[in-house]
């Protein structure tokens, strides 16, 4: 991970709360570097890494349950400032001798709260709104603690032992629904822990470039460049460190969005002067996909063929030592991984490299959340339209053309998608939406165009909001914008006579159609 010897470090102890990543992001937004560690490894990590503060997250369990997640009480006696949130607050209470109870009335959602004198609530309105989500609550605070906030139904909405620098809140300050919640987190960091901000994209770039230079030396590096945000930022960052030693292989499988291949080539060759090998393999991929309609078979074919192309091009470069991977911090959290580099024989982004190509992995973005990756990209001078591009799946249009994938059908969905995204840009909606795209269902519908009967394709539009793609809500695009999009697609894309808008959330649906 990042060398934090010259940086403040806050460890966020994960008890399974749905907002654990959001808490870590809020700390970083305050200019303090943070990482997430599982509760069962927390004491070990705290002793080893000596953080300046610790935050306990919420969680779905009850502290009153027999097998509920817990933590060694030793962590409370190391002299490190601790903030407990929701479940974390209750766990702190029990560990230090207080009591937890099942309340008569549970609290969920926006709740009126009254704050009392505390460094945590400095410069925040006394009568305020917070976000509650709990079935248990604190009945009796531990010795040395005082109550610092309450609600009509929760007598201990916050407590603290300022001398020991231990703070606890029953509500969730990390979510936007808690008014001035970000100030509460900053007050904990700045006034409770006396930390000063020292984490930024500028300092990250400087430190990471130095690390890459030291690790790589004069060795050769390759990158499987997709044109997406993560791989693009990783490539530019590594190029800043090693220059001509980096070779990027861009496999254009013909399943990209409109003009995307040309944009990638222009940006990386002309703007950054990176060694870029573009392989135009559309015919090769379409030939492999001919007659295949099963989604999983299509994914496997595209992934396997990608590897064959990548292998052929990499072999032409001779001896290679390092592979750049666009892994970001949410990937690390979900996989439970914790190493910085490793010798590999397969690679999930490219589907499995050949066994005789054992490479060391460079993962320069593995400490960053998506929003931080974007900030680093902007600092490196990458164009905004690439940095804020919506996520795009590896199989590309191969899973947005439902059923058999053909050149004609790819062109139809490519043109419809371009119109859709163009109108979202015009309406100022693109950055409010996490992902938007057009898909081509494997159906034709009857229509009337120019007084004649048509039997043409239907385009399905999808737009969702999300933070990590694990869950998602559809975005309510205004009807007038949808009307413009629908009219343009039907009028300008040959072979389409109907447009529908998918308003299903995830779950029960997935984001992609296949």
Which element (helix H / strand E) includes 37?
strand 33-38
Write the Ramachandran bin of 229: left for phi over 0, alpha for psi from -120 to 50, otherwise beta: alpha
Task: Write out the catalytic residue numbers.
Answer: 86, 172, 174
Decide if 502 contacts 461 (C-beta within 8 A). yes
> What's the rounded Cα separation, in Å, for the pair 324 and 251?
15
Structure tokens at 448: 């009337």
Total residues found in the chain within this entry: 514
DSSP 455-471: EEEEEEEEEEE-SSSSS
Give the whole-angstrom CA distance, residue 280 versus residue 76: 59
∠ Cα 418 421 427 (to 5°): 140
CA angle 377–380–341, rounded 5-degree value: 70
Q: Which two tokens stand for residue 184?
A: 């509460």
Residues of the chain with pLDDT under 70: 1-6, 334-358, 450-451, 467-470
């Amino acid at each position: 991970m990042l060398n934090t010897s010259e940086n403040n470090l806050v460890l966020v102890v994960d008890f399974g709360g749905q907002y654990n990543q959001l808490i870590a992001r809020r700390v970083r937004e305050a200019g303090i570097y943070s990482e997430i560690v599982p509760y069962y490894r927390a004491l070990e990590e705290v002793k080893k890494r000596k953080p300046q503060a610790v935050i306990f997250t919420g969680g779905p369990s009850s502290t009153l349950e027999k097998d509920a997640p817990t933590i060694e009480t030793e962590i409370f006696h190391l002299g490190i400032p601790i903030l407990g949130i929701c479940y974390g607050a209750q766990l702190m209470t029990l560990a230090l001798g207080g009591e937890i109870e099942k309340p008569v009335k549970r609290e969920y959602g926006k709740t009126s709260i009254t704050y009392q004198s505390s460094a945590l609530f400095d410069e925040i309105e006394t009568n305020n709104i917070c976000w509650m989500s709990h079935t248990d609550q604190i009945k009796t605070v531990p010795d040395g603690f005082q109550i610092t906030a309450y609600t009509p139904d929760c007598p201990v909405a916050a407590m603290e032992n300022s001398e020991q620098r231990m703070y606890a809140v029953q509500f969730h300050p990390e979510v936007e629904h808690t008014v001035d919640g970000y100030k509460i987190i900053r007050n904990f960091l700045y006034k409770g822990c006396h930390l000063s901000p020292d984490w930024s994209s500028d300092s990250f770039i400087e430190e990471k470039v130095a690390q890459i230079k030291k690790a790589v030396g004069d060795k050769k590096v390759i990158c499987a460049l997709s044109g997406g945000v993560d791989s693009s930022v990783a490539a530019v960052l590594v190029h800043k460190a090693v220059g001509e030693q980096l070779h990027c292989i861009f496999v254009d499988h013909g399943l990209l969005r409109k003009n995307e291949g040309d944009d990638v080539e222009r940006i990386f060759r002309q703007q950054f002067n990176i060694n870029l090998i573009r392989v135009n393999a559309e015919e090769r991929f379409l030939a492999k996909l001919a007659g295949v309609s099963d989604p999983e078979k299509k994914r496997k074919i595209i992934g396997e063929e990608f590897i064959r192309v990548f292998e052929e091009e990499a072999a032409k470069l001779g001896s290679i030592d390092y592979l750049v991977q666009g892994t970001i911090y949410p990937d690390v959290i979900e996989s439970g991984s914790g190493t910085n580099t490793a010798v590999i024989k397969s690679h999930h982004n490219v589907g499995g490299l050949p066994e005789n190509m054992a490479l060391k992995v460079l993962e320069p973005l593995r400490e960053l959340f998506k929003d931080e990756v974007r900030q680093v990209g902007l600092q490196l001078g990458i164009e905004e339209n690439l940095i804020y591009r919506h996520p795009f799946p590896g199989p590309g249009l191969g899973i947005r053309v439902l059923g058999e994938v053909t050149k004609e059908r790819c062109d139809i969905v490519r043109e419809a998608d371009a119109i859709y995204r163009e109108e979202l840009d015009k309406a100022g909606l693109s950055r409010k939406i996490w992902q938007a795209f057009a898909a081509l269902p494997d159906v034709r519908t009857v229509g009337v165009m120019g007084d004649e009967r048509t039997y043409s394709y239907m385009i399905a539009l999808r737009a969702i909001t999300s933070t990590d793609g694990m869950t998602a809500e559809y975005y309510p695009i205004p009807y007038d914008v949808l009307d413009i999009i629908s009219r343009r697609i039907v009028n300008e894309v040959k072979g389409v006579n109907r447009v529908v808008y998918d308003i299903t959330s995830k779950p029960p649906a997935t984001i992609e159609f296949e």
